[in-house]
Amino acid sequence: MKALVVKDLHKSFGNVRAVVGFTLEMEEGEFVTLLGPSGCGKTTVLRTVAGFEKADKGEIYIFGKLSNDIPPEKRDVGMVFQNYALFPNMTVAQNIAFSMMIRKEPQDKIKKRVGELLELVQLSGLENRYPHQLSGGQMQRVALARALAKNPKILLLDEPLSALDAKVRQQLRGEIRKLQMKLGITTLFVTHDQEEALTMSDRIVVMKDGVIQQIGSPRQIYDDPINPFVAHFVGTSSFLEGEMLDGKIFIWKDERFEVRKSKVKNGKALMVLRPTHLKMVKDEENVPDGSNVMKGRVSLVTFLGSVVRVHVMIKEEEILVEMPSEDFWGFKEGDEVIVYFSPDFPLVFPKEQNIQ
Amino acid sequence: MSLRRRERLTGWVFALPSLITLGAVIAVPLGFSLSVSFFAYTFINPSFSVFLGFENYMNAFSDPYFWNSLWVTLKFVVLVVSIEFTLGFIVALMLNRDIRFKGVYYTILTMPMVMSPVAVGLIWKMLLHPDLGVLNYFLGLIGIEPINWLGDPTMAFWSVLMVDVWQQISFMILLLLAGLVSLPKEPFEAATIDGASEFQKLFYITIPLMKPVILAAVVIRTIFAFRTYDLIYVLTRGGPGVSTDVLSYFIYRKTFMGLNLAEAAATSYVLLGVVLLLVVFMFKIITSERKVVG
Ligand SMILES: Nc1ncnc2c1ncn2[C@@H]1O[C@H](COP(=O)(O)OP(=O)(O)O)[C@@H](O)[C@H]1O
Ligand SMILES: [Mg+2]
């Protein structure tokens, strides 16, 4: 049985169409991320699944049960909010115990469960602190423990990491994922951060203007974006505007590139080049046979830690090339270079598809 | 002259006009009445020639009418503030949801607040008139004997109380409503998912989150309630007898009927002391509250 099925969900606020025809099926134990720019309807989908918003049209099934008219507290979902939403007047332990206290469970059982949960989110010893005595990361762990306290069947997380600083965010990212796998809990996660989506998810749902653009594994989304928007939103890319010939040759300015993956046969087209797909050398002798070759001049070199990103000006367009730091051997701004790529890599889309 | 000092000087120059004005209208009268309260200063002999020390204060404390007024005032303040708060909170909670005609309710609520207490007093005096008042007329229709709203010593106190609540409750409602509207909605949703009922949400979330607003509203209303004067003046003049003789009206009587300016000044300072004590006490509660994280 599917853990969650959302079928043709529509939701408008006044004349804002927040979600349009959203359909998604989730397996039990799966971690699915809704990814898209701010305002694309991610939160609305999540809140409709939680039961805080009523669908204009469409169905929501939670473990096979049609849930459109079931109130939030009866849906068996746990939710973590972006701004923690802890009860400021209650201690960590009281926050976590809230749902159990509401259900009037026996004190010793509550105490035991709170202890387990604190251990799970690595906060043992902080049970008597108040939220204002915790760091952002700790507060979000408490929120997570509170959401898990009643053993929900589905966990909903709405940008739980976006209010935290980079270091904590990265750490918690891994922890949430490990915890989710350990508990095997079906999780629907919302973020606008592509890196978060790529690192945490089993599958990613990319959305734009309330419409699903693509559903797929992180690898599929990154390697095989379905349109320029997805290519632009997930990962870094350079875009070249040109023309396709016979579905094989991409003409850009006075260059001709051989390509193998084109969605266009003839006519105006947009080529997507990932920085990692491009290679860069000083002399033409080092270019493998069959590569597409461009000449350019280095305009900027930025060091990103594990990789070096080089901005190359080619025919008045800036194209990004990335290479592992250890393979970087000292290009400088102003160097004349040769950039090449295999015909297997670039994707070509019809021109009318916009990246924004 | 360093930049820092020059900036500070500029600050003082800008603040000076308002400081002078404030000093002239607040500090001077306050200081003057404080010194009056230590001398035999009356309208007949307005001079600082005879220093009495605390004699004016002693006289006030030994006056049984002073103690009556203090008691009436405390009773009045505690009752109006608690009634206004309880009713006001309920109304504010009712208005803080998706209902139709919100604008209409707000307009109705604001009306008594913008009316002058003297006008309110006069209107209610007509409504409460034992023979001509519309209130007794309606009571008569359902077979209830006319009530002497303002003429009966016990009834008069409650009537004044009711009129004050009628006029001042809007302030309480609007203040509390402003607080309710600005509460974050996520804690409520988190509690909803956890299965909390509306009542549980009220006690576990709304009231704790509203504490600072509640205390501010109660403090402000307490201070204002101590100063209630115009309503009493119009409705009962402290009577019948001294049953509605609140301290501010008592002081007025001492000054302009008893012409005993010095003792009135001393009593004013006692009133000020009582209010200050209460406010300090309430502020202690506020500041001992933990900081609420939004
Ligand atoms: N309660 C609401 N009232 C009116 N408009 C809303 C409401 N909630 C969301 N919207 C609108 O719906 C769209 C989608 O919002 P949301 O789901 O919050 O996007 P996201 O979470 O992806 O940033 C936005 O245009 C937003 O302004
Ligand atoms: Mg959102």
- Residue-wise pLDDT tens digits, B5-26: 888 899 999 999 999 999 999 9
Q: How many residues does chain A have?
A: 356
Quick check: A73 and B195 CB within 8 A? yes
What is the structure's pLDDT at B291?
Answer: 47
Please list the ranges in chain A whose pLDDT falls under 70.
353-356
Which residues have any ligand 1 atom within 6 Å of their CB?
A: A 13, 16, 18, 36, 38-44
Binned at pLDDT 50, 70 and 90, residue B3 comes out as confident
Share the mean pLDDT of chain A.
91
Distance, CA of B227 to CA of B117 (rounded, Å): 12
Q: What is the ipTM of this complex?
A: 0.83
Domains of chain B: 55-293 (1.10.3720.10)
Q: Which of A12-21, A135-144, B231-240, B268-277 has the lowest mean pLDDT?
A: B231-240
User: A332 at the B interface (CB within 8 A)?
Assistant: no
Can you state the percent helix, strand and coil of chain B, rounding each to 5? Answer: 75, 0, 25
| Chain A residues touching residue B192 (CB < 8 angstroms) | 52, 71-73
CA end-to-end span of chain B: 44
What is the structure's pLDDT at A300?
Answer: 92
What does the pLDDT look like over B144-203, one tens digit per residue?
787 788 888 888 899 999 999 999 999 999 999 999 999 998 999 999 999 999 999 999
Binned at pLDDT 50, 70 and 90, residue B292 comes out as very low
- Name the residue among B225, B229, B217, B230 with its Cα closest to residue B282: B217
Q: Is B149 exposed, middle or buried (0-12, 13-18, 19+ CB in 10 A)?
A: buried
| Chain A residues touching residue B190 (CB < 8 angstroms) | 79, 81, 85, 87, 98, 143, 146
What is the structure's pLDDT at A355?
Answer: 64
Closest residue in A to B291 (Cα) is: A132
Q: Above 90 in pLDDT, residue B132?
A: no
Q: What proportion of chain A, given as a percentage, has pLDDT over 70? A: 99
H helical segments located in B38-152: 55-61, 64-95, 102-114, 117-127, 134-141
| Chain A / chain B CB contacts < 8 angstroms | 74
Quick check: B293 and A88 CB within 8 A? yes
Residue, of B1 and A2, whose pLDDT is higher: A2
What does the pLDDT look like over B62-101, one tens digit per residue?
888 888 999 999 999 999 999 999 999 999 999 988 888 8
Interface of B with A in 199-218 (CB under 8 A): 200, 204-205, 208-209
Q: Which of A208-212, B101-105, B139-143 has the lowest mean pLDDT?
A: B139-143
What does the pLDDT look like over A217-251, one tens digit per residue?
999 999 889 998 999 999 889 999 999 988 889 99
Share the mean pLDDT of chain B.
86
What is the structure's pLDDT at B25?
Answer: 92
What does the pLDDT look like over A275-312, one tens digit per residue?
988 998 888 888 888 889 999 999 999 988 889 999 99
Quick check: A89 and B209 CB within 8 A? yes
Q: Residue type at A107?
A: Q
Q: Which of A287-291, B188-192, B242-246, B283-287 has the lowest mean pLDDT?
A: B283-287
User: A104 at the B interface (CB within 8 A)?
Assistant: no
What is the structure's pLDDT at A353?
Answer: 66
Q: Which ligand is nearest to the CA of A34?
A: 1
Distance, CA of A114 to CA of A246 (rounded, Å): 65
